[in-house]
Structure 1
Amino acid sequence: MGQRLRPAEVALLAEESPATPKHNATVEIFEPGESGFDYERLLELIADRIAFVPRYRQRLQTVPGGLANPSWVDDPAFDLRYHVRRSALPRPGSLEQLRELVSRIVSRPLDRSKPLWEMYVVEGLSGGRVALLSKAHQVLVDGVETVDLGQVLLDNSPSPKSLGADDWRPKRPASPGGVVLEAIGDSLKDPDVLADTVRTVSGTVLRNAADARRSARRTVAGLTGRRTEPRGQIAARHSQQRRVVSVLTELDAYKRIRDVHGGTVNDVILATITGGLRGWLLTHDESLRGFQQVRAVVPVSVIDRELQATSLGSQIAPHFVELPVGEPSPVVRLHQVSYSFQAHKETGRGVAANRLAGIAGFAPTTFHAIGARVAAEQGRRAFQLMVTNVPGPQSPLYAAGAEMVATYPVPPLLPGHALAVGVTSYNGTVAYGITADGARVPDADVLGQCLTEALDELLDTISEARPRAPRGRRRPKAVRSGAATEARS
């Protein structure tokens, strides 16, 4: 018997459509160096490590009649070269060209008849650099049974350790009749399987009823001439186009702002996002028309035995925060964001950022995936924006000897959302990955520019304030340095 999907995972599959694909993605840029880094080297590396994530060689198998939830089974036709693909930019390729390629690739849903992941080696970047784009479905990476493949590919040293490719052989697939008998047997032997099936059927009925109500409202609105499209710049019915924007900034800037105004680096990052959203919204409407707050969900790492355990040593819980986009003062915005997280800090459940950053491998890719799952389970009307913010290691990592010089998350869009923001800190940098609906938000690059301006605005306040050293931390000199900069090759 393969591992069966839980009801929440079946719901994710049910919500997927060509306009709302349910996968997470990551873009990593490597400096090949003397060892070189190309398609064949990556194939060898994955073949050596894929045994640590066995689900990456499994596909979904549905059960006729819905007698049980789909299960993971070995793919007898698994072909690593199908999942790992080669692409190139016209030399010398720019980051803007790379983002356009990434936007096209992440717009396409994954093939459900295959294992639910893809990886692209993109050559031709200026300076001889190579980009690696990975896509993995939200039901694939759960942090419990499976971590992200990217977590096991990276090493702390340029000298990779050979772990030895396994002699994997797929199990023989069951016949349609065998699948039915197995589902019935599982339901009789395991009450949890039967309970999950009942919950899945109930959830399907409720979703169908909700879809019928929305369709009826659209029909009535069409007859009466009332507008049915979601309002606001960050809410929209999806098209099949995606626009990906990346912004690279210096971690030191956030630390200096924190040391002067208090709070945490996470608070400063969210205040920067708030300021960026404010600046971008003002380009659309100078008054914001009473649009004073954006309700965001920011998944956070906690220690809580009542939540589903993960293999990363902590659980992920949703935290809702009102981003004060209507507030003109950058310092007041920062204090309001800090206050919203104070209650979470005082619970004692929070996990320190340095602990997360010290997890073996490159855990941010897995944390982003789990965070997106948690956000998707909260309901489309509970918030307006998803922000996944994950601290990573502050020393260089390597793949097959090539140094990773930059990494950007590419979060999925949730139903009804036109924007999503992912943030990853790595080796002295803080990288923002913005995913936007290309048809609804054609000026997503302006939002990227507004993020750098919002960070500059906070940096400008350093000389105007007296440093406030956090407990146990010495007061540094408040020195203004260059602003956040967009990544350049």
Structure 2
Amino acid sequence: MARLTGLDASFLAFEKDGAHMHVGSVLVFEGPAPDYVAFAARIENGLHSVPRYRQKLAFPPLGVARPIWVDDPHFNVGYHVRHTALPAPAGDAELRALAGRVFAQQLDRDKPLWEIWLVDTMGDGRFALICKTHHALVDGISGVDIMSVLFDLSADAEEPEPGPPWSPRPAPSGAELLAEGLIERVTGPVRFARGLVAAPDRAGADAGRAVAGLAAMAAAGVAGAPPSPLNVRIGPHRRFAWVSADLDQFKAIKNALGGTINDVVLTVVTGALRAHLIRRGRDPEGTELKAMVPISVRADAERGALGNRVAAMYAPLPVGLPGALERFRTVHEAMAGLKESGQAVGAQAITRLADVAAPTVLDQAARLQSRQRFFNLTVTNVPGPQLPLFMMGRKLEAFYPKVPLVLNTALGIAIMSYDGHLFFGLLGDYDAMEDLDELATDLEAAIRELASCAGVKTSRKPRRRVPVRT
């Protein structure tokens, strides 16, 4: 019985009061939509490669241990692969409105935790997929690998052979879940301690790094995040917007100024948020917002494995600085310092401790998270494949990612690189982020501003269509 890790289980505990902890994406394809029956069959034929997509959660009685994954005896691919159409002539605006509604709905915990919506009848001859998967099942880096099950490397690739017939394994009884849970409560801490005893020198060094990392995280947490329009009680509804940009332009900016592409990404997000604050009548002078930046700690050997292997750092966003170059230098220096401070090591140590924590401890942590003031928003940047992908002969044109909102945080920005582009997905609380489309425009302007300051030729204006109000 595969039990959720402490980090995976924490995403279940954090899901409350409108904060739905699923990651997702909007994928736009060239050409007409495939036949729904054939599309659903294509997905079902590939599920043997990702068997957890046929599994659901089973909760031990009395909450004695974290949930486990068990086969769903009533699995029906038609429940998870859904079909809808937009009224003609539909385009990006209507697609974004639909995505906001889909992302606002919590996944059913009595079934496998994923959905894919096939959306056809876009007026310009394209179609789309809206995908969502619970964070307890998959993280951003692993999700890229799992999505590749759907894709081919050429338009004329042969359809994959279906896997062997699937038969669900019997579900454990309540008594078995209780017994296994009690055993886990006893043996988990023992295994953790044995790991320390087996290699005391390494354990001592790791402990030293972990303590230093925890101290760095504590220092970041004590400072807290400043008040902002982004930090309000969120509701159940969502808006979704996006921006696409030229990856080569970001590389040229990085090369001209020194640093990393992530530095450039955080800088343009900072510029957009500065404009956002000013438009809302806030004086940003002297303000430094704080972004929670998830980072992957997944080893190469673990690529494609399910579950989460992520830690986090708190990155400063100097919205009080008026110049784009000033903002870049501050972000670059701060990110280099964060890597040296060991915040990521501290975050990883916390996730290891979560593996031996009782579920009640995770629930208490969730209550604490509901009052979090550690960061203002989430910004996550996921590297994707830099070659074109195809699905049933149709080319994937755009990949707009979605990161979940946590309580008291009304904005999340996810960035995905694919085939020479950077795709920004902006998820906002429907009421708190009524001006989400204006923020997307601010992001476009911030990209052009930083490129101009770096002496990089501005590429054509990124494609972005303003969403309609619903």
**TM-score grouping bracket, smaller chain normalisation:** 0.7 to 0.9
Corresponding residue for 1:400?
392
C-alpha offsets along residues 304-350 of structure 1, whole Å, 9 cap, x if unaligned? Answer: 89xxx843699643222111111110111111111122246779999
SS of the aligned residue for 1:395 comes to: coil
Counterpart-to-counterpart distance in 2, 1:81 and 1:291: 53
Counterpart-to-counterpart distance in 1, 2:127 and 2:246: 22
SS of the aligned residue for 1:150 comes to: helix
Deviation at 1:77, TM superposition (A): 0.5
Change (3 A) 1:182 1:334: closer
SS of the aligned residue for 1:9 comes to: helix
Counterpart-to-counterpart distance in 1, 2:185 and 2:78: 37
Q: What are the within-5 Å matches in structure 2 for residues 212-227 of structure 1? A: none
Change (3 A) 1:424 1:378: farther
Counterpart-to-counterpart distance in 1, 2:15 and 2:396: 32
C-alpha offsets along residues 379-422 of structure 1, whole Å, 9 cap, x if unaligned? Answer: 53322111110121221011122110001011100121111100
SS of the aligned residue for 1:298 comes to: strand
> Contact 2:448/2:458 (CA < 8 Å) preserved in 1?
no
Corresponding residue for 2:294?
299
> Contact 2:116/2:131 (CA < 8 Å) preserved in 1?
yes
Counterpart-to-counterpart distance in 2, 1:78 and 1:177: 24
Amino acid across the alignment from 1:153: L
Counterpart-to-counterpart distance in 2, 1:11 and 1:85: 28
Match of 2:326 among 321, 332, 336: 332
1:234 aligns with 2:226: no
Change (3 A) 1:303 1:191: closer
Q: What are the within-5 Å matches in structure 2 for residues 199-278 of structure 1? A: 231-278=227-274
Q: What are the within-5 Å matches in structure 2 for residues 181-192 of structure 1? A: 181-184=179-182, 190-191=187-188
Corresponding residue for 1:72?
69
Counterpart-to-counterpart distance in 1, 2:228 and 2:466: 32
Match of 1:172 among 145, 170, 173: 170
C-alpha offsets along residues 41-73 of structure 1, whole Å, 9 cap, x if unaligned? Answer: 321221121111111111111122223322111
Amino acid across the alignment from 1:392: G
How many residues are aligned here? 409
Change (3 A) 1:262 1:458: same
Amino acid across the alignment from 1:180: L
Greater Cα shift, 5-14 or 62-71: 5-14
Corresponding residue for 1:471?
none
> Contact 1:248/1:487 (CA < 8 Å) preserved in 2?
no
> Contact 2:139/2:310 (CA < 8 Å) preserved in 1?
no
> Contact 1:276/1:447 (CA < 8 Å) preserved in 2?
yes
Deviation at 1:455, TM superposition (A): 0.9
C-alpha offsets along residues 290-309 of structure 1, whole Å, 9 cap, x if unaligned? Answer: 5611111222345889xxx8
Corresponding residue for 1:482?
460
SS of the aligned residue for 1:235 comes to: coil
Deviation at 1:284, TM superposition (A): 0.5
Counterpart-to-counterpart distance in 2, 1:329 and 1:167: 61
Corresponding residue for 1:99?
96
1:413 aligns with 2:405: yes
SS of the aligned residue for 1:415 comes to: coil
Change (3 A) 1:407 1:146: closer
Amino acid across the alignment from 1:270: L
Counterpart-to-counterpart distance in 2, 1:184 and 1:264: 47
> Contact 1:50/1:149 (CA < 8 Å) preserved in 2?
no
Amino acid across the alignment from 1:273: V
Corresponding residue for 1:227?
none
Counterpart-to-counterpart distance in 2, 1:160 and 1:347: 49
> Contact 2:145/2:304 (CA < 8 Å) preserved in 1?
no
Amino acid across the alignment from 2:120: E
Q: What are the within-5 Å matches in structure 2 for residues 448-459 of structure 1? A: 448-459=440-451
SS of the aligned residue for 1:141 comes to: coil
Counterpart-to-counterpart distance in 2, 1:304 and 1:73: 26
SS of the aligned residue for 2:124 comes to: helix
SS of the aligned residue for 2:3 comes to: coil
> Contact 1:60/1:112 (CA < 8 Å) preserved in 2?
yes
Greater Cα shift, 163-172 or 318-327: 163-172
Deviation at 1:7, TM superposition (A): 3.2
SS of the aligned residue for 1:423 comes to: strand
Deviation >6 Å, runs of 4+? 143-148, 193-196, 345-350
> Contact 2:399/2:416 (CA < 8 Å) preserved in 1?
yes
Change (3 A) 1:21 1:143: closer
Corresponding residue for 1:354?
none
Match of 1:387 among 379, 394, 401: 379
Match of 1:280 among 248, 263, 276: 276
> Contact 1:107/1:240 (CA < 8 Å) preserved in 2?
yes
Corresponding residue for 1:20?
19
Change (3 A) 1:61 1:287: same
1:323 aligns with 2:323: no
Greater Cα shift, 170-179 or 70-79: 170-179
Counterpart-to-counterpart distance in 2, 1:128 and 1:57: 33
TM normalised by structure 1 equals 0.76
Greater Cα shift, 146-155 or 60-69: 146-155
C-alpha offsets along residues 224-257 of structure 1, whole Å, 9 cap, x if unaligned? Answer: xxxxxx9521101111111111111122221232
Give the % identical residues. Answer: 35
SS of the aligned residue for 1:77 comes to: coil
> Contact 2:17/2:407 (CA < 8 Å) preserved in 1?
no
Deviation at 1:174, TM superposition (A): 3.1
Corresponding residue for 1:37?
34
Change (3 A) 1:65 1:27: same
Unaligned runs of 5+ in 2: 194-225, 345-365
Match of 2:117 among 115, 120, 144: 120
Unaligned runs of 5+ in 1: 197-229, 351-375, 464-477
> Contact 1:455/1:484 (CA < 8 Å) preserved in 2?
no
> Contact 2:91/2:124 (CA < 8 Å) preserved in 1?
no
TM normalised by structure 2 equals 0.79
C-alpha offsets along residues 253-294 of structure 1, whole Å, 9 cap, x if unaligned? Answer: 212322332222221111111101111111002523x56111
> Contact 2:141/2:296 (CA < 8 Å) preserved in 1?
no
Change (3 A) 1:31 1:485: closer
Change (3 A) 1:13 1:296: same
Corresponding residue for 1:58?
55
Counterpart-to-counterpart distance in 2, 1:378 and 1:260: 43
Corresponding residue for 1:7?
6
Change (3 A) 1:377 1:148: farther
Greater Cα shift, 166-175 or 75-84: 166-175
